Amino acid sequence: MKIPIFMIFKFVMVVATWATKALEDGKITATEGLELIGELAMIIGVPLELDVPDKVKVTVENITGAHDNKENETFLSKPDYEQPK
């Protein structure tokens, strides 16, 4: 399969723009990675479908549900154990 030169330039521009935006805070999140994959998929004309296993969905729901009732507390804000003194 021959890849058109215009498509290669689009890929480079999308990745460069994404990298500039994603690295502003010095880290790359999963959301930012998925955004890049989605943009690249659109360029080549392939639909992006993410299959999330049920096990992952249940784990995320359990994590979010466990912290819904706690006010002013972020996820993993306290250690699960106490360090020995």
Is 8's pLDDT higher than 60? yes
Q: Identify the domain containing residue 41 by its residue range.
A: 5-67
Quote the pLDDT of residue 9: 92
**pTM for this predicted structure:** 0.56
pLDDT, tens digit (0-9, with 9 covering 90-100), for 56-68: 888 878 777 655 5
Tell me the C-alpha to C-alpha distance, in Å, between residue 65 and each of 40, 54, 70, 73: 34, 16, 10, 13
Residue 80 domain-assigned (yes or no): no
Residue 84 domain-assigned (yes or no): no
Residue 75 domain-assigned (yes or no): no
pLDDT, tens digit (0-9, with 9 covering 90-100), for 23-64: 888 888 888 888 899 899 888 888 888 787 888 888 878 777
Quote the pLDDT of residue 47: 83
Residue 81 domain-assigned (yes or no): no
Question: How many domains would you assign to the chain?
Answer: 1
